[in-house]
Structures are given as structure tokens and as C-alpha cells.
Chains A and B, each alone.
Chain A
Amino acid sequence: MAKPLQSLPDGGATPATAALEPLRFLIVDDERTNLLVLRAILERDGHQVIQAVDGAEAVSVFERDRPDMVLMDVMMPQMDGYEATRRIKNLAGSHFVPVIFLTALTDETALARCIEAGGDDFLTKPYNRVLLSSKITALLRLRELYRVREQQRDQIQFHHQRLQQEQTLAERIFSKVVHRGCLDNPAIRYLVSPVALFNGDLLLAARRPSGGLLVMLGDFTGHGLPAAVGSLPAAEIFYEMTAKGYSISEIIGEINQKLKAMLPPELFLAVCLLELDVSGGSLAVWNGGIPDVLIRSAQGKTLRRLPSNHLPLGIVNNAELDRTTDLVRLDAGDRIYLYTDGLTEAANSEGEMFGEGRLSQCLAEAVEDPYAFLCATLKRFRGDIEQRDDITLIELTAAACGQSAATESPVSIVPPHPPAHWRVMLELKIDALRQANPLPVVLQLVTELQALNEHRERIYLIVAEMFNNALEHGLLRLDSALKDSSQGFADYYEHRALALAALTEGWVAIELVHEPHASGGRLTIQVRDSGPGFVGQATPDAADDAIASGRGLLLLHSLCKSVIVHPPGNHVEAVYEWP
């Protein structure tokens, strides 16, 4: 691979200059004697010499032999030294080839022209050997500097290109993982600035098997690659656990534990996780480090705030992390707003920030479309200012988020396993009920044993309804009428937690029996509890005195082939058939 060494001039002496290898000089002069003198000086210093007798020849010799340095006479026939230098410098491009003008001229304008034409120095005739050698040495130093700079520039360019390629690749992986959810749900509208996209803001949405909608907004400390790397496990956990029916606090716990183990101490993820239930009637919130969640009533009459009341994720262990969620009741027409601080910190041309005041004012306006109004106001406020911040803004509309649960979620094309015989029995005593949620396990069993992917949502809804009914009404004796008032709704869940903690014994059992039936299968679900049942009440089918539980039963009837409530009411049996 090594090129044959250039033959050295006679004597082959080591160059006397600072150069490590002998240099090749192009000397240009129309006077033979001058050429002879120059050649002698340079060859004595160990350099190689090529020559030309006018500017035009100099350019073609330069093109052919690419010398390292040029000594150029000014006045020559054909093409003068100025023009030849211009062309040579042009040919050399970004490569530094020093040109020293050799001139008998001494007037300042002529010398200035040498520099203008691209010359790097000049030497007046007659030549002084010492002076010429010193100038060459000085220019060689400069040339070395250029060479190093060029090398560094190429390296930087190379690294930059590689970084860009890697970033593009990472973005593709990132968007595959992060953007596979259901942000296109009609209940969600959002604004994500391009700066925020790969930059630390994380916006995820997914549906529960029961149809509820989960939205997660995350904001990483630090931006760019570290944030993106941390986003991946968070997004994975969010999607997987949501699909399996885990609760918000379970999802929060899992992400926190993962990030705590993975991230260095100074990195963390501020997160707000929202769950809009299938009817759009309630909102569960866990907010750790994200600005207040805002709930705007119809026409902007009131603006409720749900402030961050938890630590961001990845800082403390689960044992120290409060994972309780807040529950609020929503009314028809309520809209929920969620944003990262980039929104309130967006600045106008005077450096003034958009601020929370303007945000609240916007949302208080009685406009038809507050989201569009807010976006337009923000745009007007910022004018032509280039966007530096990560801005993420989300609007959720309370009503009608869950209407298309089954059709919209990506349906797996895996067909069910052939209908088989199996029976599963799960009994949870009070201590297990306090600490675990059996629904994801049940759903997992159905998926593993029978691959009923298209029926997951419905089966989940049925089991969840039966289990919650057994636990909340059968065992804990809660009055579901409480749920109907706004305050009562929150109270209800507080009661539920207190009653569950206070209860010393009791159990709920879930039994699933599957058998082939017609062309498909039949799944019989039985849920029993240790409670006394609802003695003395009307028959369940007509139990419209307990509106909520009546609603639950109606739901079961609509999904199942048959529903039987065995007296005294602590044993419910539902049959689900699939084709």
C-alpha cells in the first residue's frame, strides 16, 4: 500500500527545514539564471524541485504534480504571477499551498497586489538564502497548522455525520416504541413542538382492556440522547401494563423502579399519568413534577387545578414513593389540559414569558373551542420568535372517549386456540386483596390458555365488573349511591381504601371454566365472596334502587349469554360464548 518513495535529489540529504519529509517545490520564473539559483538553494536544503517558465505552464505543472509550495515570479510572458497564483490557489481549494512571490518590485502597491492575488509572502530580488529559508520555515509552520486544522475539520465532519445518522436511526427506534399508542383518539388533541419531539418530552396514550383511556406526559431532566434512552423503558412499561389492565399506581411503581435502577442520580422523569374512565365520567390522576392539570368546565365557568403532589420518578425507591392517585368526577363538557413548562416559559420578542396568567385567562374565555383559542393566542404572543423550548400541550375531552374501544385498539390477527377444556380457580384472602390486583393475572390466563385476543376487552370488563362488585359491595358493604354526587365520588374511593384496610377477614374467589361449545367455546365465570349477600333486596334484574350496581348488571347482561345472581347475592355466574 505504500507508494514508492519519491526519488530524492542528488545526495538525498535529510531536509534542513522542519518538515519530516522532503517537500516538492514549484519554482516559476522566466529567467533561467533565477531558476538555477533557486534550485541550488532548495536542493541544498534537501527539497525536490520542479519548475515552470511562465504562469500558464506553472498552472498546468501544479495541476499535474501538486507541489507543496510555490515560489512565483511576478512579471512573466503568457500569464503573470498574479493570475497564475489566483488559479493555483483556486485549484488547491481548502488545501493550503503557500505561495511566495519573488519580485524585483519594491513599491508598496505591487507588493500589496501579491497578497491580494493570494500570495502568502514575498521575497525581493536578489535572493538572500537565509531569508528565503526562514520564510519557507515560517510558511511550513503555518502549513502544518492548516493541515492539523483540516484534519480536525474532517474528523468533526465525520463524527457529525455519524452522529446524525445514529440520531436518525435512534429517532426511528424511538418513534416506533413511543408513538405506537392511540394519540389519534378523537378525545385527545395535542401540540408537540419539533424541539420537544426527541428532546425529553414524552407523550403516550393507550387504552385499557376495559376501554378506559390512559395518557402519560413525561418531562426528562436533561435533553437529547439521555432523555430518549430513558424514555424507551418508560414507554414500554406504560404500554404493556396498560394493555394488561394494571392500575395507574402499579404502572407508576414499575416505571419508577426501572428508572431508579437505570438512571444516574441527577436524571429523573417528571410524570403525570391520567386515566379517563370509559364513560368519561371520572378522572384518576397521579402527578409528580408536571405543572397543574387544569380542568375547564363547559364555557370556561370554572377552572379546577390538580397540582403535582408527588416526587418525579427515578429519584427515590418505591417504598418512599407515594403512589396513591387522586380521583375527580367529571361533568359533561369538561376539558382537561396538561402541559410541560415549555408552554408557560415560551417567550415573545421582548423576552417576556407566556406565563400561567395568560394560560388561565385563555381557558376562562367562553369560546367554542378553547384549545384552538389557546394555540392561536400562544402563536400570536410569540410572533416570529424561533422556538427553543420543548412545548407539549394536551387537551382531553371528557365525554365519549370510550365509544370505540374494541374497534380502535389494534386487533391481533392471531386466531384463538381451538376450544379446550380448562378450569382455573383463584381465591384471594383479605391480605391478598389488600395488596394485589387479580385482574391482570386473569386476563393473562385467558390470553395464554385460549388466545382470545379479540375477546380480551369484553372478558376483562366482565371479570372486572364482577370482581369489583364482590369486593366493594359484597365484602366492603359500600353504598354505591355515594358515587352520584361530585364530592361523594371522591369520598367513595376514600371509604373503599379505609374499609379495605380495616377489614380483618374475608375472601373473593374467581373461577373460570372453559369448554368447547358449538363452533367456538364457552367461558363460565363465577365470582363468590364471603359477604352476606344483599338479603331482602329486590331481585337483581330489577335492582334499580342501587343504580350503579344496576348499571353494572346491565353491562354484564349486554356482554354475556347469561347472568345469574345466586341467592343471597354473594355468588354471580356469567356465561360468555365466542364463535
Chain B
Amino acid sequence: MPVTATVTGDGKNITIHISGQFNFSVYKEFREAYQRSAQPANTTYVIDMAGTDYMDSSALGMLLLLRERAGGERSEIAITHCNPEIRKIFKISNFDRLFKID
């Protein structure tokens, strides 16, 4: 499975791991993964990209969908373990203003 989700803390924390390519082909799985929270606005999300090789702009779109569901400006979404290529894509799009990226 390219997308797996771990739910902890009574469903208040969701960690989503994406392996391989993060693009439109995992749209459905990614959606299903973040929809596992019962109270989306009270959930903190971690997108773990340790296994992600490649990301395109449709992945940015999916992250925006998650952000919308998680409460927009009040959302808490961290993105971790990005490889340099992916980090560059985040940098160009200035997504560090919308997500915690390390």
C-alpha cells in the first residue's frame, strides 16, 4: 500500500505515510487516510514522507484539501522527512506558510 495511516490518541493524531510517488494515483487512498478522523478540526496530522520519492503539483492540491478539512488556517498539519527534491517543491510554492515543514 503506498498510503498507510496510523491513528493514535483516541483518533486525535493521524500520521499518514506515503511511499513511492505522491501524485494523483494515490488520491483516493490519501483521502481515505485523512478521513479516518472523526473530528477533523480537532485532529493533528503528520504527513511522513520518509518513503516518498517524488511529488508533483497534484500532491500539493491534495495537501490543500486536507488543510481545508482540518480547519484551514486553524489546521495543524506537519510534514516530515522530505527529501531535497520535495523540499524544493515546497520552497518554490512557499507552502511552509501553510504547513509545518521540517
Q: Which residues of A contact B (CB under 8 A)?
A: 219, 221-222, 265-268, 270, 288-291, 307-312, 315-316, 320
Contacts and interface: CB of A to CB of B under 8 A. Distances in A.
A291 B97 CA distance: 17
A268 to B, nearest CB: 7
Given A291-B92, A315-B98, 8 more contacts: A219-B57, A222-B58, A268-B64, A270-B57, A270-B93, A308-B91, A311-B93, A311-B95
17 contacts: A265-B61, A266-B61, A266-B62, A270-B92, A270-B93, A289-B93, A289-B94, A307-B91, A308-B91, A308-B93, A309-B94, A310-B94, A311-B97, A311-B98, A312-B93, A312-B94, A315-B64
Q: Which of A267, A315, A316: most chain B CB closer than 10 A?
A: A315
A222 B92 CA distance: 17
Interface residues of B, number: 17
Contacts, number: 50
A307 B90 CA distance: 13
Interface in B82-98: 91-95, 97-98
A256 to B, nearest CB: 13
B17 interface: no
Interface of B: 57-58, 60-62, 64-65, 67-68, 73, 91-95, 97-98
Contacts of A312: 93-94
Contacts of A311: 93-95, 97-98
Residues of A contacting B: mostly:
loop
A288 B68 CA distance: 20
Nearest to B97: A311
Nearest to A292: B92
Nearest 4 CB-CB pairings of A with B: A266-B61, A265-B68, A221-B57, A289-B93
Contacts of B58: 221-222, 266
A267 B64 CA distance: 8
Given A265-B65, A265-B67, A266-B65, A221 B60 contact: yes
B61 A268 contact: yes
A307 B92 CA distance: 7
Given A265-B68, A311-B97, A290 B92 contact: yes
Contacts of B93: 270, 289, 308, 311-312
A318 to B, nearest CB: 14
A266 B65 CA distance: 5
B25 to A, nearest CB: 14
A540 B90 CA distance: 52
A487 B67 CA distance: 40
Nearest to A267: B61
Nearest to B24: A222
Contacts of A315: 64, 98
Nearest to A310: B94
Contacts of B65: 265-266
Contacts of A316: 98
Contacts of B61: 221-222, 265-268
Given A265-B67, A266-B65, A288 B94 contact: yes
A480 to B, nearest CB: 34
A95 to B, nearest CB: 38
Contacts of A307: 91-92
Contacts of B92: 270, 289-291, 307-308
Contacts of B97: 311
Contacts of B98: 311, 315-316
Contacts of B91: 307-308
Contacts of A288: 94
Contacts of B64: 265-266, 268, 315
B89 to A, nearest CB: 9
A320 B73 CA distance: 10
Contacts of B60: 221, 268
Nearest to B93: A289
A289 B62 CA distance: 16
A253 B61 CA distance: 21
A176 B75 CA distance: 41
Contacts of A270: 57, 92-93
Nearest to B61: A266
Nearest to B89: A341
A337 B43 CA distance: 43
A479 B32 CA distance: 60
A268 B98 CA distance: 14
B60 to A, nearest CB: 6
Nearest to A321: B97
A312 to B, nearest CB: 6
A311 B67 CA distance: 15
Contacts of B95: 311
B74 to A, nearest CB: 13
B44 to A, nearest CB: 19
A356 B100 CA distance: 26
Nearest to A200: B57
B47 to A, nearest CB: 15
A284 to B, nearest CB: 19
A27 B40 CA distance: 70
Q: Which of B57, B73, B97: most chain A CB closer than 10 A?
A: B57
A14 to B, nearest CB: 47
Nearest to A289: B93
A485 B67 CA distance: 45
B62 A308 contact: no
Nearest to B59: A221
A310 B91 CA distance: 10
A175 B41 CA distance: 42
Q: Which of B91, B95, B97: most chain A CB closer than 10 A?
A: B97
Contacts of A291: 92
Nearest to B67: A265
A222 B64 CA distance: 13
A307 B88 CA distance: 11
A397 B81 CA distance: 41
Contacts of A267: 61
Nearest to A220: B57
